[in-house]
Structure 1
Amino acid sequence: MEDTAIFAGGCFWCMVKPFDTMPGIKQVISGYTGGHVANPTYEQVASHTTGHTEAVKIIFDPEVISYKQLVEIYWHQTDPTDAMGQFQDRGDNYRPVIFVKDEEQRKIAEASKQALADSEQFDAPIVTSIEDAKPFYPAEEEHQDFYKKNPLRYQMEEMGGREKFIKKNWQHQ
């Protein structure tokens, strides 16, 4: 049995490992979604002309890990108060979005977002958007499994503010 989830939380390189290392995850694919151009390239998405956001598509076994658990993992990788990018990655192609494929995913995502807002953990509003899933286009091969292929560059990306933010805001959870 398998299901899918799509999350955008800044650079897709940094969004793979936290999910890829969890039991029940079959595959994490870096790609682009939410835009109006079919089969965009990295350069097109980076030009801010396609409307796409860098995202990860997660294929998972719902008997091992639930969608709700994936949403919780997602929050812990992002700054949910920053609508126009994540950490050093700025612009609409890095915005935080939970892309939902059906009403069940929407209910789970909305409830989780509300619980985060109600927790008053952050001094600013929770601005991560929840949107209907649109076609997902896998990124070029060099962007897949980046943390495995380029560990030093991946570590530099993580040190661009994400790792520090996670430690400060999520480690105590």
Structure 2
Amino acid sequence: MTEKATFAGGCFWCMVKPFDQFDGIEKVVSGYIGGHVEQPTYEQVKSGTTGHLEAVEITFQPEVFPYEQLLEIFWQQIDPTDNGGQFQDRGEQYKAAIFVHNETQRTLAEQSKQELDASGRFTKPVVTEIRDASPFYEAEDYHQDFYKKSPDEYKEDRAKSGRDEFIDAVWEKAEV
């Protein structure tokens, strides 16, 4: 039996690989969630007018890879204190958020957020929103598995973003 988990963490290109390498993860899809336009395009979402966030939808086997582990990976990919986007990507469409699919996910997400906020790891409060999952729209095909299809562009974009420096500074050693 599988479940879905949906996380927005800035540019979705950078959010696929961290989840896409474990047993129990069946697929990681880039897409858009949380907006008011049906079937939005990348250009529409990028304009910041649809209300959507770039996100990844993960299909996983909870008995093999529990939701709690997905949350741990998620928190280590973002700056949870930044509500204006993530790293070089600014704007509503690049905000970080957890989209929960059921009450168990909500409870676990809220608990992990509270623990992270109380940990003292950050000097500012954790502001990442926990929201109800809404329709998820798959991004265009060229965005799927971008790190595999366009490895040089992926590495260049990721290097420019400042994400890895932040992750290294805050989490010491994190795999991406």
TM-score for both structures, normalised by structure 1: 0.98
Letter of the 1:46 partner, please give it: K
The aligned counterpart of 1:44 is 44
Q: Encode CA deviations 1:72-113: one digit per residue, 9 max, x unaligned.
A: 100000000101110000000000000001111000000000
Unaligned runs of 5+ in 1: none
**Structure 1 segments of 4+ aligned residues over 4 angstroms from their partners:** none
Letter of the 1:84 partner, please give it: G
Question: Following TM superposition, by how much is the alpha carbon of 1:169 offset from its aligned partner in structure 2, in angstroms?
Answer: 0.5
Question: Following TM superposition, by how much is the alpha carbon of 1:172 offset from its aligned partner in structure 2, in angstroms?
Answer: 5.1
The aligned counterpart of 2:162 is 161
Query: Which runs of structure 2 are paired with 1:119-130 in the superposition (5 Å)?
Result: 119-130=119-130
TM-score for both structures, normalised by structure 2: 0.96
Q: Distance in 2 between matches of 1:22 and 1:170?
A: 20
Question: Following TM superposition, by how much is the alpha carbon of 1:171 offset from its aligned partner in structure 2, in angstroms?
Answer: 2.5
- Secondary structure class of the residue paired with 1:117: helix
Unaligned runs of 5+ in 2: none
Q: Distance in 2 between matches of 1:91 and 1:147?
A: 23
- Secondary structure class of the residue paired with 1:43: helix
Query: Which runs of structure 2 are paired with 1:1-173 in the superposition (5 Å)?
Result: 1-159=1-159, 160-171=161-172
- Secondary structure class of the residue paired with 2:56: strand
Q: Encode CA deviations 1:23-69: one digit per residue, 9 max, x unaligned.
A: 21000000000000000000000111110000000000111100111
Q: Distance in 2 between matches of 1:18 and 1:71?
A: 12
Q: Encode CA deviations 1:96-142: one digit per residue, 9 max, x unaligned.
A: 00000111100000000000011010001101000000100000000
- Secondary structure class of the residue paired with 1:20: coil
**More off after superposition, 152-161 vs 70-79:** 152-161
Q: Distance in 2 between matches of 1:95 and 1:84?
A: 6
Q: How many percent identity over aligned positions?
A: 60
Q: Count how many residue pairs are aligned between Structure 1 and Structure 2.
A: 173
Q: Distance in 2 between matches of 1:169 and 1:156?
A: 22
- Secondary structure class of the residue paired with 2:111: helix
Letter of the 1:32 partner, please give it: Y
Note the aligned Cα RMSD (angstroms).
Answer: 0.9
